[in-house]
Amino acid sequence: MLTHLNIKNFAVVQHLSIDLEKGLTVITGETGAGKSIAVDALGLVLGDRADNGIIRDGTERAEISASFDISANSQARKWLDEQGLDTDDCILRRVLTRDGRSRAFINGSATTLAQLRDFGESLIDIHSQHEHQSLLDKTSHRRLLDSFAGADKLANDVHDYYQQWHLAEKTLKQLKIDTQNQAEQHQLLHYQLEELNELNLQADEIESLEAEQQRLASAGEILSNGQQILALTQSTDIDSTDCSNLINQAIRLSDNIQDEHPDLNEARQLLQSAQIQIDEAANSVNHYLSQVNIDPQRQQLVEERLSDIYQIARKHHIQAPELVELQQRLSTEFQQLDNMDERIEQLTTQVSQHKQTFLNAAQQLSEKRRAASKDFDQQIAEHLATLGMDSCQFITQLSALDNDTLAPHGLESIEFLVSTNPGQTPRPLSKVASGGELSRISLAIQVISAQASAIPVLVFDEVDVGIGGGTAEVVGRLLRKLGEAGQVLCVSHQPQVAAQAHQHLSVSKQNTDGQTDSQMSLLNEDEKVSEIARMLGGIKLTEQTLAHAREMLLSTS
């Protein structure tokens, strides 16, 4: 149950705070006073999209919060529990700022609009004054019947099963098309793989070959320079002036100095270290030169190997090091082509299974629809009779689709047919019903849908437009009956509807300092009489209209 609604800086409302109770609450007021603002605000706090144009002029942000008592709403409590939120309270809040940003909260925790809409579906069901226009769309006929039949979840399952089947069949068709080019593609891959397998390129082989090719190409120069390095660093001639002999001489001379001065000792250590490093350098050069050979045959083999590698890489328009990865990828594709028949067989089985799953669920849905349609039509006819359309015949037509046709919504198309005059053949709503008739048919459907709904709060926004007199009184009684079983909020122009309210809110508009402010107040018994008298007509309230208003209120007690 909606217990409180708080609105700040929304449209022409500066601040509005409303406490609400069970039963039927009617909201009335002069045209343009802002009667539907509360409904619009509820829509936003339940996740409707909005722009910053609805923020009150002169302010930077609008804020709406709604409090609910969900102690008896197991669906809402379950949702909160699954989200890890407190289930004792239920407060929704929406904040809109002038820069276009929007924030939403559930029990103080930030949430997305999608989550807000999802949660809101278990709290409130809003029926707008323009809802009868949707009756011209056959899609809404199917949705309404499924809701009445309690088959919403099954209808969603049917839709999902259809999508699974459709995707699998689409994949299978594409796979079969691909197999038409399989032989040609298989032959090309076989040739390419044979060439790559024959090449047998190893990881890091190119880098190794290029380094070896460079050494072989410059082997003579390398050996000459290496011998000169050895001659300069280490010589067997005792009179040689190579590095090693010169440093040995320096070491001997330093040893002849009979002084233990720190600087001299450090010099001796550095000379000895240099001697060791020069000897190690000479050994490393010797080891390196032992691996360098002038080998024209080997050089030719290396260059031919590199040439083959570069040629095949150019053929595939890639860099040489990428050939190893290409070979692996082509091998995988080749195996997949080899397994194409097996894949087609597996996918064919999956398509058949998905189709059967869809057909089983769709058949169950069809049975639910057929069983519910008779009761649906009967209840609508009964309500239309009370709304002054006792000659109206209402039929929910279920037309089976062709055997070869599968659709995501099931095995049949659904359309509401109506005959508003005796002897008239029932025809589609769009071709028969007038605007006023559509309004009453829509109202009858909404009332029936509301009775079948598990949603505890129902909101009707001027659904009684175009209805008056005794019919309006019947509408009021229907809404009051719905309110007695839960909570109903109704924005109305009709005094007959307002007289049926358990709680009456009046909206008024005031102009202060050049700005408009809309206010809403709870009416006491005397104020109810005055407001209903105003709605009955006349600029000046007469004792006669006031007496009429009192009589209307007495009839509800």
- Judge whether 503 and 20 are in contact, CB under 8 Å: yes
Tokens describing residue 70: 């969900």
- Judge whether 18 and 4 are in contact, CB under 8 Å: yes
DSSP-assigned states of every residue in 254-291: HHHS----HHHHHHHHHHHHHHHHHHHHHHHHHHHHTT
Bridge partner list, 102: 96
Residues 6 or more apart whose Cβ sits within 8 Å of residue 152? 146
- C-alpha closest to that of 298 among 221, 214, 226, 201: 214
Ramachandran area for residue 356 (φ above 0: left; ψ -120 to 50: alpha; else beta): alpha
Tokens describing residue 247: 């440093």
Cα dihedral: 457, 463, 469, 474 (round 10)? -40
- Judge whether 492 and 503 are in contact, CB under 8 Å: no
Dist. CA 217–CA 222, nearest whole Å: 10
Dist. CA 231–CA 241, nearest whole Å: 9
- C-alpha closest to that of 59 among 7, 4, 116: 7
Q: What is the CA radius of gyration of the chain?
A: 45
Dist. CA 500–CA 473, nearest whole Å: 8
Dist. CA 321–CA 206, nearest whole Å: 7
- Judge whether 378 and 103 are in contact, CB under 8 Å: no
Tokens describing residue 131: 């809802």
Dihedral sign, Cα of residue 149, residue 150, residue 155, residue 161: negative
- Judge whether 476 and 505 are in contact, CB under 8 Å: no
- Judge whether 410 and 398 are in contact, CB under 8 Å: no
Dist. CA 323–CA 321, nearest whole Å: 6
User: What pTM did the predictor assign?
Assistant: 0.59
Dist. CA 552–CA 486, nearest whole Å: 23
Please, what are the domains in the chain?
A: 1-123+455-557 (3.40.50.300), 184-338 (no CATH)
SS3 105: strand
Q: Greatest CA separation found in the chain?
A: 144
The sheet with strand 412-419 has its strands ordered as: 393-400, 412-419, 427-428
Residue 524 pLDDT:
93
- C-alpha closest to that of 477 among 383, 390, 546: 383
Dist. CA 161–CA 278, nearest whole Å: 81
DSSP-assigned states of every residue in 392-439: -EEEEEEEEPPTT--BTTBSEEEEEEEE-STTPPPEEHHHH--HHHHH
Tokens describing residue 530: 């005055």
DSSP-assigned states of every residue in 487-544: EEEEE-S-HHHHTT-SEEEEEEEEEETTEEEEEEEE--HHHHHHHHHHHHS-SS--HH
Bridge partner list, 458: 125, 488
Tokens describing residue 35: 């009667």
SS3 50: coil
Quote the distance between the C-alpha of residue 234 and its chain's center. 78
| pLDDT average per 10 residues of sequence, the chain (557 residues) | 93 90 91 82 88 86 94 88 88 92 92 90 75 69 89 93 94 80 73 87 86 74 75 65 81 83 87 87 83 74 86 89 88 75 85 95 96 93 85 91 87 91 84 70 78 76 74 86 86 91 91 80 92 83 88 81
- C-alpha closest to that of 193 among 329, 307, 338, 337: 329
Dist. CA 361–CA 410, nearest whole Å: 9
The sheet with strand 515-522 has its strands ordered as: 124-127, 457-461, 487-491, 23-29, 503-512, 515-522
Residue 538 pLDDT:
65
Dist. CA 61–CA 54, nearest whole Å: 10
Dihedral sign, Cα of residue 56, residue 59, residue 64, residue 65: negative
Residues in the chain: 557
Dist. CA 223–CA 168, nearest whole Å: 69
What is each CA distance from 63 to 15, 32, 48, 124, 513, in whole angstroms?
Answer: 10, 22, 14, 19, 23
Residue 238 pLDDT:
54
